[in-house]
Amino acid sequence: MVASTYFAIDLGATSGRTILASYDGQKIAMKELTRFENPMIPIGGHLYWDLPGLYNEVLIGLKKAAEEGVLIESIGIDTWGCDFAFFGTDGQLLGLPHCYRDQHTDGAQEKFFEKMPASEVYERTGIQFMNFNSLFQLDTLKRNASSALQAADKILFIPDALIYMLTGKAICEYTVASTSQMLNPVTGDLDPEILKTLGIPRERFGVMTQPGTVVGTLTAQVQEATGLGAVPVVAVAGHDTASAVAAVPAEDKEYAYLSCGTWSLMGIESEDPIITKDSFRENFTNEGGVEGTTRFLKNICGLWLFEQSRKEFKDVPESVGELVALCEESTYAGLINPDAPCFAAPASMTAAIREYCLSTGQAVPETPADYCRCIFRSLANRYREIVDILQGMCDFPIRKLHVIGGGSQNKYLMQYAADALSMPVVCGPVEGTALGNVLMQMKASGVVETLGQMRKISAASVELVTYTPEINNK
């Protein structure tokens, strides 16, 4: 077959990139066209995203794609979840979107629970409670009389906002909407009682759209700006974790997955939502997947601990690989709870770790090697705790852990995880999110039909690395 080419836009909470991917009938090869930063913008005491800047970076990537001189089958966008943008009746962006790390939602859950009990919110949505969930962001903005919200004709999640800017079509993609704590996984749409309690009508949100749907084509203006034609834009799994999980090269369902990056998202795939007293007590979440699956998972702290600590290290190797190898120089035995509130956004991450260790009666890390070992072993220990809880809630044995994302390249963390879990840890694809993005575009174009076919292509496209437990590893 003649190779087909796809354009993927993959935006994370710290950086973004555009990718050109080609499929030759057996495997996918990806070429990064552009990479750019996605910083939080501090303005007036709040944190925002520079959505126009991200849109401009998308246009730059599309221009480069046009210069490649190949026929692009389609375009897909995935991003982080929860955040959203406002647009007026004339289609104009109304201000910058708030960043989920903005502290304006501190205490927001408790204020909303005065109107609807937490148990009812969870029963309707099955979503893990976090201050920055879209529900609490919107309620906070409404209580604070946000001028942008008051004037908004459309409320669009970040991937949907970019699709709107590219095509003029307003949608509400299912997987990213599922992170909002406003979607009912049983009905498959935004919950009317939650919207009523929130005081925002359903029509302000886009049309609910399943991943793998062609939304529209690039507008004439975008075509002129980029040099491309009327290329179709596909609603892929718009939430980056949903895209990544779609690319997990699993052969059966007896596994847990870990999307390992700044955040660690750990869970299983389920045919149905798991909304029980146990899942409510443990604060697990039910997010939308592809082909009607549910991603039953826990959103836990990830390499954020390492990324923030690294900024404070002095006289250490610049490369991440050499830096993480410092683990070999330490025998530090202390452990922290990566999900403790003190690690969410501290002024100094190393100081927060020291204070935690002191408060729990442990020795304090002294060197960068100690911090690295403490962080990675603590994350591995947390993974074991979560898998143990998952095993008690699912109806199949968990026999291995599939790790996707950049963190899968950290061989020390991966070996610690295999040891802590006492099961194989299969690593790859590293670029799982972009790969899942492309696979969903292929599904939209009819090249593949099922999730099983997608996963076989994923396995053929990457080289997997497996870590097995080392009994004597301490």
- What is the bridge-based pairing of β-strands 72-78 and 232-235? parallel
* φ/ψ (deg, to 5) at 34: -140, 155
SS3 content of the chain, % helix, strand, coil (to 5): 40, 25, 35
Query: CB of 244 within 8 A of CB of 433?
Result: yes
Selection from 148, 149, 146, 176 nearest residue 160 by Cα:
176
Instruction: Say what the alpha-carbon torsion angle 209, 174, 6, 465 is, to the nearest 10 degrees.
Output: -160
Residue 366, judged by CB atoms within 10 A of its CB (0-12, 13-18, 19+), counts as exposed
* φ/ψ (deg, to 5) at 346: -75, 155
Among the options 139, 191, 240, 419, which is catalytic? 240
Counted residue by residue, the chain has a size of 474
Strand partners of residue 172: 208
Report residue 404 as tokens.
């996707």
- Alpha-helix residue ranges (DSSP H) falling in 266-348: 277-282, 304-310, 320-324
Helix H or strand E segment including 9 = strand 4-11
In whole angstroms, give the CA distance from residue 47 to residue 451: 38
Report residue 98 as tokens.
């708030």
Per DSSP, the three-state class of 18 is: strand
Give the contacts of 221 (CB within 8 A, at least 6 positions apart). none
Annotated active-site residue 240? The verdict is: yes
Complete DSSP assignment for 189-239: EE-HHHHHHHT--GGGB-EEE-TTEEEEE--HHHHHHHT--S-EEEE---B
Residue 255, judged by CB atoms within 10 A of its CB (0-12, 13-18, 19+), counts as buried
Per DSSP, the three-state class of 14 is: coil
Query: CB of 337 within 8 A of CB of 352?
Result: no
Tracing tokens 């076989």 back to the chain, one arrives at 456
Using alpha carbons, list the distances in angstroms from residue 85 to 17, 45, 92, 156, 170. 20, 19, 11, 5, 12
Q: Catalytic residue numbers?
A: 240
